[in-house]
Amino acid sequence: MIKILGFAGSLRKDSYNRALLLAAQKLVPDGAEIEIVDIGSFPLYNEDLEASLPAAIADFKAKLVQADAILMVTPEYNYSISGVLKNALDWASRPYGSNSFDGKPVAIMGATSGTVGTARAQYHLRQICVFLNAYVLNRPEIMVSSVADKFKDGELVDDKTKQKVREQLVALMAWTRQLHKD
Ligand SMILES: Cc1cc2nc3c(=O)[nH]c(=O)nc-3n(C[C@H](O)[C@H](O)[C@H](O)COP(=O)(O)O)c2cc1C
């Protein structure tokens, strides 16, 4: 069983990105499962706290290390990822020498009310993943725009998007098997 750890970068109760993550959890094919972790309660990154990591951060880092793959669902805030998501990534990368993303297969999705489907945020996130030494799946990309048409009462209802989500999860599973071959 491939264990995927998933998280979304929005705190909003009615977040489309969390709804997309929940849809992925339901759509994941046999042979994999997605555990969702809430990154919204993490303290702001502060190097002074590294000497005694807050429990939520130690737990997050342990889950990342144990996961076979990671799924990040990002909103786009001002052409980049949200502070909430960046904060989680900064914690995951530290203390120096203890980068919990090191060598992990990663998939990225995003949803926006705008028209560019979080493309700009996703490409920033891919750049961050270079320093994290995470291996981001190239395609299919999942950039959900005009969300109002695709979600109803917090559920993804658009069949084309559902199909794309399934395809990305299948590709992530194959990518994970390929990277874990040794
Ligand atoms: C501070 C802020 C900045 C935003 N900047 C962008 C942006 O650059 N591009 C975009 O497509 N949408 C932008 N939006 C709209 C978000 O995509 C929209 O609010 C989306 O629903 C947020 O994701 P969520 O539903 O998961 O909370 C922005 C929203 C906020 C609150």
Among protein residues, the one with the nearest Cα to ligand 1's atom 4 is 77
Integer Cα distance of 177 and 87 in angstroms: 29
pLDDT digits (tens, 9 = 90+) for 98-152: 999 999 999 999 999 999 999 999 999 999 999 999 999 999 999 999 999 899 9
The DSSP output letter for 42 is P
* CA–CA–CA angle 76, 89, 143 (5° rounding): 30
Q: Ligand 1, residues 39, 84, 112: which to mutate, most atoms within 8 A of Cβ?
A: 112
pLDDT at 38: 98
Instruction: Determine the pLDDT at residue 107.
Output: 99
What residue type is assigned to position 31 of the chain? G
d(CA 118, ligand 1 centre) in Å:
8
- Do the Cβ atoms of 171 and 139 come closer than 8 Å? yes
Q: How far is the CA of 37 from the centre of ligand 1 (A)?
A: 21
What is the DSSP code (8-state) at residue 2?
E
Element (H, E) at 126: helix 119-131
pLDDT, tens digit, 9 for 90 and up, residues 48-100: 999 999 999 999 999 999 999 999 999 999 999 999 999 999 999 999 999 99
Q: Six-digit token pair at 85? A: 């998501």
Nearest of 68, 60, 141 to residue 108 by alpha carbon: 141
| pLDDT confidence of residue 182 | 65
Look at the chain and report how many structural domains it folds into.
Answer: 1
**Ligand 1 pocket residues where CB is under 6 Å:** 10, 12, 15-17, 75-79, 112-114, 116
Strands 69-73 and 2-8: parallel
Res 60: pLDDT: 98
User: How confident is the model at residue 63, as a pLDDT?
Assistant: 98
Does the pTM of the predicted model rise above 0.95?
Answer: yes
We report the CATH number of the domain holding residue 148 as 3.40.50.360
Residue 181: pLDDT band (50, 70, 90) is: confident
Mean pLDDT is lowest, of 61-65, 167-171, 177-181, for 177-181
CB 81 within 8 A of CB 120: no
Ligand 1: atom nearest CA of 112 is: 17
pLDDT at res. 154: 94
Q: Of 18, 73, 77, which is best to mutate to test ligand 1, by the most ligand atoms within 8 angstroms of its C-beta?
A: 77
Query: Whole domain around residue 159: which residue ranges?
Result: 2-179
| CA 7 to ligand 1 centroid distance, Å | 17
Residue 71 phi, psi (nearest 5):
-120, 120
Of the chain, the end-to-end C-alpha distance in Å amounts to 17
Which run of H or E residues covers position 91?
A: helix 83-92
- Check residue 98 and give its pLDDT: 97
The helix (run of H) or strand (run of E) holding residue 111 is: strand 105-111
